[in-house]
Chain A
Amino acid sequence: DIQMTQSPSSLSASVGDRVTITCRASQSISSYLNWYQQKPGKAPKVLIYAAPSLQSGVPSRFSGSGSGTDFTLTISSVQPEDIATYYCQQSYSIPWTFGQGTKVEIK
């Protein structure tokens, strides 16, 4: 299985800060990398697919980059509504696997 490792596990940022979350795959996955946002008690929502494609309706402050083994999700100016846990997920090979999540809090 391809292991997905995210860092940090959690972070606290002020409104307006630039936030970067990193995801590393245990082997090359080309650009078969997706990012999801999960708010408490809710289902995940796709933000970025086939990094770096932005899902329709997702604010442009979210962006994704990377290929191979190293990927980043950036929130250019974090907003209060961005409080959530963010997961990366690879679709390069089955079983499709997720990172352990990064919890974003607002100071």
Chain B
Amino acid sequence: QVQLQESGPGLVKPSETLSLTCTVSGGSISSNYWSWIRQPPGKGLEWIGFIYYSGSTNYNPSLKSRVTISVDTSKDQFSLKLSSVTAADTAVYYCATTRTVGSKIYFDYWGQGTLVTVSS
């Protein structure tokens, strides 16, 4: 069974760049799409973007100017960078496998999530 684990700083200063890594185990990153999703405390879910193992990406237009998702297949990892963060970016950040069944897509395996707080 695929397992995902997020890692990175839990505290980021305003205007700086948030950086997280998701490590995939129990399966190869060289298949499927891989997504980042976030959830502000007490609020709903927001899809940030996905990456295919080949490196092709697609981002939420609301974040596109600040987001970069990359993949390192040699380490079975993919990463998120979010620049110019503000308090509104405080959230639990999840990585998830993005399964495709024909043209249908859903998030099947999720990491446990990591809380990132933006504060000085």
Contacts and interface: CB of A to CB of B under 8 A. Distances in A.
B112 A43 contact: yes
A98 B108 contact: no
Given A43-B94, A91-B106, A96 B111 contact: no
Interface residues of A, number: 25
Interface residues of B, number: 23
Contacts of B47: 89, 95-98
Interface string A28-62: 00011010100000111110011001010000000
Contacts, number: 60
Contacts of B88: none
A87 B45 contact: yes
Interface string B50-69: 00000000101110000000
Given A43-B110, A94-B58, A50 B44 contact: no
* Contact residues of A: prevailing secondary structure: loop
Contacts of B99: 49
A46 B106 CA distance: 8
B106 A44 contact: no
Interface of B: 44-47, 58, 60-62, 94, 96, 99, 101-108, 110-113
Interface of A: 1, 31-32, 34, 36, 42-46, 49-50, 53, 55, 87, 89, 91, 94-101
7 contacts: A32-B103, A43-B110, A96-B105, A98-B44, A98-B45, A100-B44, A101-B44
